[in-house]
């Protein structure tokens, strides 16, 4: 965004850029606004399947953040660690939205105008990789290729500023708390349903770019499975996102106890600083396997697995708290 001359743009283009920047800033306020904005966009542009995937993954980010302020994690993790983990989730998801939402809005405007406007993506610091992919989609309408491209893009957007950032590595990714969670597969991405079944994937090796891209592709395959998709969509449309796992746990457990609070009762709005706007695709080779179409996924519910993992986590935290009291 910085350093690109807008002098030769038409009045229409300048106004469009201004409007998109304004809408992006407004809707990138916190996890709730991001989740809702992705979903609202999908309801109006069903062909852009990535926006539904982004909304449901964003829900999971909110649940993970609220876990840190819930009944269990404060017993095991000190305040500094929990705030560092929250800051990592928040910054990564803020950066992805800041990059992706202008792309979505430019596509929507292009459809209304019936002419591609993707030459304006550079004014939002979007990679040249995605400019080419949007042009390709406009011509060939390959939905899956566009989803895979957006997954590749978003994970590269956060690779250097978040995953490879020395401060985040020291304070988050190299900590015992992160490695412990990663080893036991306690972090997962879930797609709940109104009947109490949950589907998804457990997350491990999150610091691996290849693994994150593969995970995104696997989640997409689950989300848009013809047998399951409508159930996931109905949950998203009917259950307002609060950040509390109670949003779906009330359907999973017959006698539900709320263990995580709502996001807006737990955290203030964090004002984020703009990024430098470097184009990752100039210096990074797009691997052929990132675009590979063959994705094998397990479509069985994870409901019982989830219950066992929660019980295991709670037992470990109770034991840790007990031992800390003794020693």
pLDDT digits (tens, 9 = 90+) for 258-273: 889 999 999 999 889 8
CB 260 within 8 A of CB 244: yes
310 pLDDT exceeds 80? yes
Task: Provide long-range contacts, Cβ within 8 A and 24+ apart, for 132-137.
Answer: 134/103, 134/106, 134/107
Please tell me the predicted confidence (pLDDT) of residue 43: 98
Asked whether the predicted pLDDT for residue 173 surpasses 60, the reply is: yes
Higher pLDDT, 64 or 2: 64
The whole-angstrom separation of Cα 107 and Cα 294 is: 27
* Average of per-residue pLDDT across 113-141: 97
Q: Which two tokens stand for residue 196?
A: 């109490």
Model confidence at 39, pLDDT cuts 50, 70, 90, reads very high
**What pLDDT band is residue 176 in, cutting at 50, 70 and 90?**
low
DSSP 8-state assignment for residue 160: I
Name the residue among 233, 247, 251, 255 with its Cα closest to residue 195.
Answer: 251
pLDDT of residue 81: 85
Mark residue 3 as left, alpha or beta (left: phi above 0; alpha: psi -120 to 50; beta: remaining): left
pLDDT at 100: 98
Buried residues in 89-116 as b, exposed as e (16+ CB within 10 A): bbbbbbbbbbbbbbbbbbbbbbeeeeeb
Residues 172, 198, 215, 137, CA torsion sign? negative
| % the chain with pLDDT above 70 | 92
pLDDT at residue 76, as a whole number: 80
Task: Give the range among 91-100, 156-165, 318-327 with minimum mean pLDDT.
Answer: 318-327
The answer, yes or no, to whether residue 66 has pLDDT greater than 90, is: yes
Find out whether 86 and 65 touch, Cβ atoms under 8 Å: yes
- Residue of 24, 32, 29 lying closest to 58 (CA atoms): 32
Is residue 241 within 8 Å of 264, Cβ to Cβ?
no
């Amino acid at each position: 965004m910085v350093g690109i001359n807008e002098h030769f743009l038409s009045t229409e283009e300048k106004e469009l850029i201004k409007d998109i920047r304004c809408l992006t800033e407004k809707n990138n306020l916190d996890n709730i606004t991001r989740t809702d904005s992705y979903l609202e966009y999908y309801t109006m542009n069903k062909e852009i399947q990535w926006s539904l995937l982004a909304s449901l993954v964003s829900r999971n980010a909110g649940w993970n953040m609220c876990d840190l302020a819930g009944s269990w994690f404060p017993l095991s993790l000190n305040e500094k660690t929990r705030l560092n983990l929250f800051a990592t989730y928040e910054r990564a998801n803020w950066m992805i939205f800041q990059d992706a939402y202008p792309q979505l809005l430019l596509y929507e405007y292009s459809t209304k105008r019936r002419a591609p406007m993707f030459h304006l993506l550079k004014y939002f610091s979007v990679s040249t990789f995605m400019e080419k992919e949007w042009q390709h989609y406009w011509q060939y309408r390959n939905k899956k290729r566009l989803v895979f491209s957006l997954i590749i893009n978003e994970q590269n957007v956060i690779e250097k500023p978040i995953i490879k950032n020395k401060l985040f590595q020291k304070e988050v990714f190299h900590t015992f708390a992160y490695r412990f969670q990663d080893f036991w597969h306690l972090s997962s991405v879930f797609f709940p349903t109104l009947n109490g079944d949950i589907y998804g994937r457990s997350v491990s090796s999150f610091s691996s770019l290849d693994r994150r891209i593969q995970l995104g592709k696997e989640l997409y395959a689950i989300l848009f499975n013809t047998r399951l998709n409508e159930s996931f969509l109905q949950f998203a449309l009917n259950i307002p996102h609060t950040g509390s796992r109670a949003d779906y746990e009330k359907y999973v457990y017959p006698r539900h106890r709320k263990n995580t609070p709502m996001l807006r009762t737990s955290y203030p709005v964090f004002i984020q600083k703009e990024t430098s706007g470097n184009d990752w695709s100039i210096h990074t080779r797009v691997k052929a396997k990132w675009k590979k179409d063959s994705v094998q996924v397990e479509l069985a519910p994870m409901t019982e697995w989830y219950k066992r993992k929660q019980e295991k986590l709670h037992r470990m935290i109770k034991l840790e708290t007990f031992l800390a009291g003794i020693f």
